[in-house]
Amino acid sequence: MQKSSVARAEQTLAAIQDAGDEGRRIFTQVYEQSALAAARAADERERSGIRLGPLDGRIVSVKDLYDIAGEVTTAGSAVRRTAAPATQDALIVQRLRQAGAVIIGKTNMTEFAFSGIGINPHYGTPGNARDATRIPGGSSSGAGVAVARGLSEISIGSDTGGSVRIPSALNGVTGLKPTQCRVPRDGAFPLSFSLDSVGPLARSVLDCAQADAVLSGQPLGELPARTVRGLRVGIPRGLLFTQTDTAVQAAFDQVVAELSRSGCRVDDMQLDDWCAAPFKLQEKGTLIAAEAAYIHAETLATNPGAIDPFVLARIQRGETIAASHYVSLQRARAELQQSLDARVADCDVLVLPTVAMVAPRIDSLASADAFNQANMLVLRNTSVFNFYDLPAMSLPIQVGAGQLPVGLMVVGHRGGDRDLLTVCAALQSGLQSLAL
């Protein structure tokens, strides 16, 4: 029998407290009183035979870029410590509360959500759930660690270039980046208007599907039953498989072999023209940098030294991007999205490693060069699919005892989020290598 919501909330709050300094690096805020009140209300509803939905009484955390009424939204930055408190909850927070979720706290993040590493010099860096000396992945660093350590059942993150999928992969949990328009961003501190998306991290595809239904305001219903047999799976061999750690490649190959044995149609696909295009087109400046420079213009003009130097350098590149380059990027992106859609129309999903490497040690990234090289590689595979606005999930691959987590990225069709969730549920239940 499942424990009551109050019992689970109390257990979670005690675990956060027992984690000491590490708990304070994972969470920037813990809402003990309001969480216990929400848990008591959920238990009372259950006793009365009332259920608000699948998240009723579930323990949920939210990334510290979503507004909570009366609280300062720091977005991981010291600059925002003195910002005015939010006047109302972000829309997704409102939806979570209406669904009966128990919001346990706010999770830490990379400053302004602008790196895939997860290091934060202002509020501390949460250690990887498997090995605290290693990076958690970002930018939803606390979100991934919280789920992996059992400090929240579901975490709500954001994903602009991989910020849900990267910490999911590096900490061994499941994460969803939806099609961008699926979940509203009202009350979320932005990084990139063009690329930001809102998604959950959890232990299973089913938990992600339930959270996604609440976040998107869509009816959940049952995910259609589907087996692995007969799936049409494409593998974009080439650029996105270069510089891949041996351990990551071996884990991926294990999954591909099992897919083939299970009756999937698995085909290598030549997609390098599309996979390389986001990087080639943005050599003179990225959409994210251009939009971040606009968002942070006041801070860049008045107090740039308060920003993490590694993050500051990335934002400042946006100040030099010409309007003509920005417009040409947007037009090229729209055209490429249509051509890639046509190219992969015959596949149910694409699969590839979420991140090309396992989590490196935090102290190995102290220099700007080491940080930038790792950040580029960590973001490489995931960011391609933000550019194309395709929904994607990271599923944990089962690896040997003592090995660091590895993620399998499963990419669907734009707007086909429910189909992607259905396929990923079949993969997670049907493949031994993904049944964690």
Rounded Cα distance, 65 and 83, in Å: 13
Q: What is the structure's pLDDT at 2? A: 79
SS3 state at 69: coil
Contact 163, 141 (CB under 8 A): no
5 is catalytic: no
One-character DSSP codes across 403-430: PPPEEEEEE--TT-HHHHHHHHHHHHHH
The two tokens of residue 422 are 């259905």
Sort strands 102-107 and 27-30 into parallel, antiparallel or unpaired. Answer: antiparallel
Q: Which element (helix H / strand E) includes 277? A: helix 272-281
Cis peptide before 139 (omega within 30 of 0): yes
- Left (φ > 0), alpha (ψ -120 to 50) or beta: where does 137 sit? left
What domains, with CATH codes, occur in the chain?
Answer: 1-268+335-436 (3.90.1300.10)
Which of 163, 216, 262, 394 is flagged as catalytic? 163
SS3 state at 155: strand
Q: What is the structure's pLDDT at 1? A: 64
SS3 state at 204: coil
Q: What is the structure's pLDDT at 212? A: 98
Q: Who's near 82: CB < 8 A, 6+ residues apart?
A: 72
Q: Name residue, tokens 């149910």.
A: 348
Rounded Cα distance, 42 and 36, in Å: 10
Q: What is the structure's pLDDT at 151? A: 98
The two tokens of residue 201 are 């991290």
Q: Name residue, tokens 């009816």.
A: 219
Mean pLDDT per 10-residue interval, the chain, length 436 residues: 92 98 98 98 97 96 98 98 97 98 98 98 98 98 98 98 98 98 98 98 97 94 90 98 98 97 97 98 97 98 96 96 97 98 98 98 97 98 98 96 96 98 97 87
The two tokens of residue 101 are 């979720």
Which of 63, 155, 158, 433 is flagged as catalytic? 63
63 is catalytic: yes
Which of 139, 140, 141, 197 is flagged as catalytic? 139
Q: What is the structure's pLDDT at 237? A: 97
